[in-house]
Chain A
């Protein structure tokens, strides 16, 4: 045992999305909590079945947009009315209607940047190394296979009984995921 690498998780491989959805529900019902599922395309409701309670991403993006809008307007106001006021054809220094297009563009830019970077950050990406990639058949997770993973950190985890539990779900195979 000592020479074997430390175990990260045990993983079961399924051929169809429905089998995976059923397996995830069974694992949750059995009491497993530190579980994850890997699919080649988004499956509606799967994250919720895993126990995902929702993401703060929309709120973060909204704040990003708000920052871009307020900051964008303030930048123009500061440049045109405070730092370097120039009288152009008698127009008011704070000619706010003319500032709207740039304010709008910066709102969108800031919100979009926050959307992409926020999504990656919350997903802890980029992550070049992850134990699941040690499993050779995991290469098919981006093609046509569906995986359920139960981590060793789960309170109910026990190498033997977890393997047995997964085998009862009739997967194509059950494999160990080394650290």
Chain B
């Protein structure tokens, strides 16, 4: 990742396109981005998209309603496969969220200016993905209304959570991640919401954005503390994002089950998370920039950078698959060997080879610059990777659980219609939130764009002066 960053940095000194399109001023960037939100007219495409997502969201509502009524027996889960779709979906969604934090925090610390065009909606994506992720373990509890039993609070039963269990680590990791992502996003929004407050015409918008802006007035003293806080938050979010997926991988790696009990899991899960996250950022960015004509802010160069990160993390993931198979053979443990062979040639072999095709073969197209510059192809690869990463979690969970040490306890798992309804429904929840975000809040950080414009002007100024000498 760092190498990737360093490479584009050197290119930035030579011949890269400016992070903002030519000819923009402080005023015009603010106007163009805020107009998307403040316009009274809602595009028809937005309504269609939102309606579609909302229908899917209703599927989720229905599926959850039935689940609460009947219990987790409506899903395909059983003993031995007690985790099924719920945990697959959980790991998939939380992994998608990781790209947002990577873009907003890690690329900020690495001075990657191109992140400015995409960090706002990538952070929103993080938030919504974590919201979807959080649903699944809660629903999987069986009695989701007792979710607060997971937290250490003084209770009438006089017992405490088991802090030696990775599942409790998960509770703390995910809720910390949600809280920190929300704060990071909101702090970034404060100056932009102040811009909306000052530019809004309708009374309702003025009051709403006014409350959200907390009375921000852009004082130099405030900016100073703001930047200190923002930078430290980025520094805190960076180890946090790595820790979250590490803890998620501990859910598996700490167990003694063949196929799970492996030290490669934490780094391989983190790489996979970023891989799927960038696929989701591309899946959102490509249609968004086409619909709202944001090519000046999200250029082909931005998409190409994301494609490169996807390729790099994809290779790390491929290495993970390879080392899993290698260690199964090299470790000489019969059970590990069996799990690996069962993955490749057992009853779920189709899913395994589909996953290899999606996650290992498809991204190899991105070695070619022409393909990285082809937005349609990029979108297709991103969608394939999203499917592939979902399959990866499915294969890890199902194949390890369904055949463990004792053949007498083997079983099979097949999802029911309610499993699929909950998965599709969670996509509906994600998309609905995303559509609302696009309509109600600035999708690109305006104040950071103004900073970029300012720096571009200084660059042009210096270039002119050098030319005169």
Contact = CB atoms under 8 A, between A and B. Distances in A.
B173 A105 contact: yes
A110 B233 CA distance: 11
Interface residues of B, number: 63
Contact of A122 (B187, B214, B225): B225
Given A104-B243, A111-B236, A116-B187, A37 B195 contact: no
A61 B323 CA distance: 41
A157 interface: no
Given A102-B172, A144-B27, A55 B228 contact: yes
B436 to A, nearest CB: 23
B300 interface: no
B163 A109 contact: no
B176 A109 contact: yes
Contact of A38 (B25, B217, B233): B217
A58 B158 CA distance: 38
Given A116-B187, A120-B214, A47 B223 contact: yes
B43 interface: no
B250 interface: yes
B228 A142 contact: no
Interface in A54-108: 55, 57-58, 61, 65, 75-76, 79-80, 83-84, 88, 91, 95, 98-99, 101-102, 104-106, 108
Interface in B55-95: none
Nearest to B30: A143
Contacts of B161: 79
Contact of B219 (A38, A61, A106): A38
B215 A112 contact: no
Majority secondary structure, A binding face: helix
A141 interface: yes
A132 interface: yes
A114 to B, nearest CB: 10
A52 B169 CA distance: 42
A126 B176 contact: no
A39 B223 contact: yes
A7 interface: no
A58 B216 CA distance: 21
Contacts of B25: 144
Contacts of A58: 228, 232
A105 B215 contact: no
Contacts of B163: 76, 79-80, 98-99, 102
26 contacts: A36-B220, A36-B221, A38-B220, A40-B26, A41-B448, A42-B226, A42-B451, A47-B224, A52-B220, A52-B224, A79-B160, A84-B159, A102-B172, A105-B173, A108-B236, A108-B239, A112-B180, A116-B229, A116-B233, A118-B229, A119-B226, A123-B222, A125-B216, A141-B218, A142-B191, A143-B26
